Amino acid sequence: MMKFSLTDTDGDARRGQLIFPRGTIDTPAFMPVGTLGSVRAVAPDEVRQTGAQIILGNTFHLMLRPGTEVVSAHGTLHDFMGWPGPILTDSGGFQVWSLAQKRQISEQGVYFRSPVDGSSVFLGPEESMTVQKSLGSDVVMCFDECTSYPATRAQANASMQMSLRWAQRCAAVPLRAGQALFGIAQGGMYEDLRMESLTQLEKIGFAGYALGGLSVGEPKDDMLRILQAVGPTMPKDKPRYLMGVGKPEDLLAGVAAGIDMFDCVLPTRNARNGWLYTRRGIVRLKNAVNRSDTRPIEVDCPCAACARFSRAYLRHLYVTGELLGSRLCTLHNLVYFQRLMSDIRNAIARNQFATFARDFLTDFAGEGRDMA
C-alpha cells in the first residue's frame, strides 16, 4: 500500500517521500518515460544508476503491443521489463487525444484506429483499469479525456464533466492489492472549472491527484496561470502530479506551486536529437563548434558520457548515427534531470528554494541559444 509523507516545506514547495512495497521515492520526483516498457536506448539497471526511483509506462501502447497476456505471462510489467522499482502507468487518455483524426468519443469510451495495424479498438474507463491491473503498476491513472486547446468554456466544461463521470467508473473497478489510483483534474484553461474538477475528484476520493491537459499547445503564460492557481489548492496530504511537463524551468515552476511528481519524454527524446542539458543551457551536438571540442558535456557530471568522452566524440557518434551516441546522450540527460531534482529537494530542506530557483534560471540559458 502506498504511503505519502511530507518532510519539509518552503512556501508552497514540498519535499517528501512516497513509499511502496517496491521502493521509496523521494519527492519532488522526475519519472523517466518508458512508454513501451523501456526507457529508450538504456537498460533498466542503467536507469536506476542515474538516480531514478520510479518510471512511467503506457497503458495504450502496451495494450496494443505486446498485449497484456504477454506481460501477464511474466508476472507484472516490472518482471517483463526487468525494472524492480515502482511504475506509474498513464491511462491511455493522452494517447487517444493525440489520435484526434482516428477516434470517436462517446460516454462509454473511445473507439480508435490502432496505429499498429489499423484495427478498430475500444478503450473506456473499465478497460483502462483492467489493463493497468493486469500490468501490475504501482500507480494507476484514471481514464480521462485530455481537453484540447483551444476549447471554449462550454467545450472544456463538457469534457471535464465526462472525465469526472469516467473517474467515478474507474474508482468502482477493483484493482490489485497495493495499487494506488490517482484522479486527474481537467478543465482546460478555465481556473474555476479546474477547481470544480478537483473538488469533485476529492469527493470520490483518490490516493493522489494529477493535473492533466497542460502542455497541449497552450501559451506558456496560460499553463503557468493554471498551475499556480490550482497546484497549491490540491489536497495537502496526497501526492500531486503534473503530467507531461518537463522543461527544467517548468519543473521549477511546478515545484513552486506544490507539485510532487513530474514526467516528460524531453530528456530521452532530446538526447536522441543531440540536445544535451547542462547547468548553463543546452549543448547541440550537431553544431560545428563541437567538432573538435575535447571537453566533456559538463565537467562535474558523473554520467558515463561525461566521465570518459569528449563533446567531439559524442558529436562524431551523433552525426554518424552510431547507436552508442544515443545511449550515452540519454544517460547524460537522465542524470541531469535526477541531479536537478536532488538539488531542488536539498534546497527545500534548507528553506532556500526561491534562491535556488532564481540562481538556476539566471545560469540556465534554456533552449534559445547554444552553450560553449
- 293: annotated active-site residue: no
- 26: annotated active-site residue: no
Residues 6+ apart with CB under 8 A from 68: 62, 131, 134, 135
Choose, from 10, 138, 250, 263, the residue flagged as catalytic: 263
- Residue in 60, 56, 264 with CA at minimum distance from that of residue 143: 60
Q: b/e per residue, 344-372, with b = 16+ CB within 10 A?
A: bbebbeeeebeebbeebeeebeebeeebe
Looking at residue 37, what DSSP letter applies?
S
- Residue in 81, 31, 38 with CA at minimum distance from that of residue 53: 31
Choose, from 90, 138, 260, 293, the residue flagged as catalytic: 90
Q: What is the largest CA-CA distance in the chain?
A: 60
Phi/psi of residue 363, nearest 5 degrees: -80, -35
Contact 235, 203 (CB under 8 A): no
Torsion of CA 139, 134, 202, 146, to 10 degrees: 90
Measured distance CA(268)–CA(274) in Å, rounded: 10
- In the chain, the N- to C-terminal Cα span, in Å, equals 48
Contact 31, 245 (CB under 8 A): no
Q: Which three cell numbers stand for residue 188?
A: 482546460
- Residue in 345, 370, 372, 369 with CA at minimum distance from that of residue 357: 345
Question: What separation in angstroms does the CA of 17 have from each of 3, 44, 137?
Answer: 8, 22, 18
Please list the active-site residues. Answer: 90, 263
